């Protein structure tokens, strides 16, 4: 099948590679423009562009170029922008969405599933519509979340999504038949810096979920303090103070305590929480965080 592929970040790459490996003719790859990355500020291609160039595919940064190719189908995986309705009339498109629709429509479905304590999530292959993630679903695949980090979960979902998409594209029955979404929709709003700010008014369980997203931080004194790995403990104490369990420091919260397994103090490298605590020379009951 002649396919136009639209995608940008690393989780979209497995689907692109799978389409090529399954013998489909990817006539164009549309991705977001190169961005400045790293300290040098040099322009770097998106992960999808890098993979497409490696595969010898035609790459564009402009949606209008879709009008110049004879594609039978468009495949969208985290492209990063809305597709105009007029274009959907020219090229019908399938979307690989990383949630169990209609739960978590929107930009951050994996992170919102973790933050909400969902037991499972999955992938939906849906027909793309002008409205946000409202299209009928051709195929759904489910996985458990457990204690996975967002990066671990997204990697698993990207591989699952690639397999599911190729299954749909390779089946005339699945392509022609899709079921409307059923249930009350929820929306996965974009994350911002405050999402990752650990506050002592939250429960330790909720803070552990935030840590699993990556980029979690708090403040000890006036210094920013990153929490890279942590787990929740049962504990009663004054929120905003510390406790120490088996040599590992923990942040006392409104409900329980957050054990600091791996941390990165401002201006330092990452280290075990126990090593940081030994060098910090703080008193658990008088030191404060948050």
Looking at 188, 205, 231, the residue that finishes a domain is 188
The answer on 221 and 155 residing in a single domain is no
Same domain, 40 and 182: yes
Check whether residue 77 and residue 161 sit in a common domain. Answer: yes
pLDDT of residue 207: 98
Same domain, 56 and 181: yes
At residue 37, the pLDDT reads: 73
The CA-based diameter of the chain, rounded to the nearest angstrom, is 69
**Sign, CA torsion 266/267/270/272:** negative
The two tokens of residue 285 are 């009951």
pLDDT of residue 61: 96
175 and 202 inside one domain: no
Per-residue pLDDT at 274 = 97
Under the banding of pLDDT at 50, 70 and 90, the label for residue 183 is very high
Q: Per the domain annotation, does 221 fall within a domain? A: yes
Question: Does one domain contain both 86 and 204?
Answer: no
Question: Tokens in use for 93?
Answer: 């498109």
Mean per-residue pLDDT over the chain, rounded: 96
224 and 170: one domain?
no
CA distance 260 to 202: 16
CA nearest neighbour of 28 among 59, 64, 50: 59
Q: Cα separation of 238 and 226, whole Å?
A: 21
- pLDDT digit string (tens) for 25-75? 999 999 999 887 767 678 899 999 999 999 999 999 999 999 999 999 999
* Residue that finishes a domain, picked among 144, 172, 188: 188
Are both 178 and 238 inside the same structural domain? Answer: no
Residues 112 and 131 in one domain: yes
At residue 222 the predicted structure's pLDDT band, cuts being 50, 70 and 90, is confident
Q: What gap in Å lies between CA 180 and CA 168, rounded to an integer?
A: 16
Q: What is the total residue count of the chain?
A: 290
Quick one: pLDDT band at residue 234, thresholds 50, 70, 90?
A: very high
Kindly state whether residue 288 falls inside one of the protein's structural domains.
Answer: no
**Span 166-181, mean pLDDT?**
97
* Residue span of the structural domain in which 130 resides: 2-188
Distance CA 183, CA 133 (A): 13
Cβ atoms of 30 and 36 closer than 8 Å: no
Q: What is the pLDDT of residue 238?
A: 95
**The tokens of 169 are what?**
């594209």
Q: Say if 258 falls within a structural domain.
A: yes
Residues 31 and 153 in one domain: yes
Q: With residue 161 as reference, give the H or E element that holds it.
A: helix 150-169
Helix intervals (H) in 5-149? 13-21, 47-54, 85-90, 109-115
**Digit-coded pLDDT (tens) for 74-127:** 999 999 999 999 999 999 999 999 999 999 999 999 999 999 999 999 999 999
Number of domains in the chain: 2
The pLDDT of residue 35 is 86
Q: Based on the domain organization, do 207 and 243 belong to the same domain?
A: yes
Distance between CA atoms of residues 20 and 1, nearest Å: 10
Q: How do residues 60-70 score in pLDDT, each as one tens digit? A: 999 999 999 99
CATH number of domain containing 151: 3.40.50.170
- Report pLDDT for 221: 85
| 286: in domain | no
In terms of domains, do 161 and 201 share one?
A: no
Among 188, 206, 231, identify where a domain stops. 188
Residue 15 lies in a domain: yes
Residue 21 lies in a domain: yes
pLDDT of residue 235: 95
């Amino acid at each position: 099948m002649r396919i136009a592929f639209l995608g940008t970040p690393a989780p979209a790459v497995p689907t692109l590679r799978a389409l090529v490996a399954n013998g489909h003719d990817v006539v164009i790859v549309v991705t977001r423009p190169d961005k400045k990355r790293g300290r040098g500020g040099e322009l770097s291609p998106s992960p999808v562009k890098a993979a497409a160039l490696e595969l010898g595919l035609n790459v564009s940064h402009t949606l209008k170029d879709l009008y110049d190719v004879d594609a039978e189908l468009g495949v969208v995986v985290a492209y990063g922008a809305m597709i105009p309705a007029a274009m959907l009339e020219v090229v019908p498109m399938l979307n690989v969405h990383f949630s169990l629709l209609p739960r978590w429509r929107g930009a951050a479905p994996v992170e919102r599933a973790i933050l909400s304590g969902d037991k499972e999530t999955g992938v939906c292959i849906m027909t793309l519509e002008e409205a946000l993630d409202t299209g009928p679903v051709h195929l759904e695949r489910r996985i458990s979340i457990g204690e996975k980090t967002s990066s671990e979960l997204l990697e698993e979902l990207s591989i699952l999504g690639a397999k599911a998409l190729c299954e749909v594209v390779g089946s005339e029955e699945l392509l022609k038949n899709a079921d409307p979404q059923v249930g009350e929709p929820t929306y996965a709003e974009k994350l911002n810096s405050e999402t990752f700010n650990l506050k002592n008014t939250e429960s330790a369980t909720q803070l552990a979920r935030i840590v699993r997203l990556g980029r979690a931080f708090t403040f000890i004194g006036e210094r920013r303090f990153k929490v890279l790995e942590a787990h929740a403990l049962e504990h009663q104490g004054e929120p905003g103070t510390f406790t120490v369990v088996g040599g590992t420091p923990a942040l006392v919260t409104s409900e329980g305590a957050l054990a600091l397994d791996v941390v990165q103090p401002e201006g330092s490298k990452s280290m075990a929480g126990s090593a940081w605590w030994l060098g910090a020379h703080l008193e658990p009951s008088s030191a404060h965080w948050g």
